[in-house]
Amino acid sequence: GENVEQHPSTLSVQEGDSAVIKCTYSDSASNYFPWYKQELGKRPQLIIDIRSNVGEKKDQRIAVTLNKTAKHFSLHITETQPEDSAVYFCAAPSGGSYIPTFGRGTSLIVHP
Amino acid sequence: NAGVTQTPKFRVLKTGQSMTLLCAQDMNHEYMYWYRQDPGMGLRLIHYSVGEGTTAKGEVPDGYNVSRLKKQNFLLGLESAAPSQTSVYFCASSDTRGKETQYFGPGTRLLVL
């Protein structure tokens, strides 16, 4: 099955700084890579995703990059704001299925 | 359109008791999932279903059973609760291949004493 590693486990930044979270995966056939955001006490919600036929995708202040050769993908948040404080999860499905394996999560803290 | 709902929101059980968690979705999704979330462990898949009448084991299935008698409902059962099953349980659903976004329910917080 898929093995997904996520780093760092905790990330503390000042408001306005950039934040980068990285995930590596093991199954070279994986083709869909979502990122979910979970605010305290809430459910995880998709914030951005990328498919294996593109290398980068942006949505306002967030972007995801994918390096299929190295088997890693990263979440980039620019101009961080206190409301970005949350736990972020990456996920990757085993290549032959749609069942995702989640990373262990990154707790992002944005200090005002 | 309620999305994915879960009942109950919170429950306290004594060791050895049984209970059923109910998940319902109104998006006509084929796939449904049960996860447990523990501090530092992310979301771990317990069981999943690819359609009405089908179920399969995930990463941590021991001590749990599931049923999907209707497409919109996915039930998670604990036959004999143990303190190790204290966790937050999330249900999720997703559409077919090409639309893999998972939609999560609000979660059920379970405490086993």
Reading chain A (112 residues) residue by residue, the pLDDT tens digits are 788 999 999 999 999 999 999 999 998 888 899 999 999 999 999 999 998 888 999 999 999 999 999 999 999 999 999 999 999 999 998 766 778 899 999 999 999 9
Question: What's the pLDDT score for residue A20?
Answer: 98
Cross-chain Cβ contact B90/A44 below 8 Å: yes
Residue numbers of A between 35 and 54 with CB closer than 8 Å to B: 36, 42-46, 49
With cut-offs at 50, 70 and 90, classify the pLDDT of residue B98.
low
pLDDT mean over B61-83? 97
Which is it for strands B108-112 and B10-13: parallel, antiparallel or unpaired?
A: parallel
Q: Residue written as tokens 């084991």? A: B57
Position B94 pLDDT exceeds 70: yes
- Across chain A, where does the E strand assignment appear? 4-7, 10-14, 19-25, 32-38, 45-51, 56-59, 62-67, 72-77, 86-93, 100-102, 106-111
- How far away is chain A from the Cα of B61, in angstroms, using its nearest Cα? 15
- Count CB atoms within 10 A of the CB of residue B99: 11
Phi and psi torsions of A61, nearest 5°: -85, -5
State yes or no: pLDDT of B99 exceeds 80: no
In whole angstroms, what is the distance from residue B67 CA to residue B53 CA?
7
- At residue A101, φ and ψ (nearest 5 deg) are -110, 130
Q: Which one of A32, A89, A99 has the shortest CB-CB distance to B42?
A: A89
Among B33, B40, B104, beta carbon nearest to A104: B40
pLDDT of residue A95: 62
Per CB-CB distance under 8 Å, the chain B contacts of A105 are 40, 42
CB contact under 8 Å between B100 and A34, yes or no, is: yes
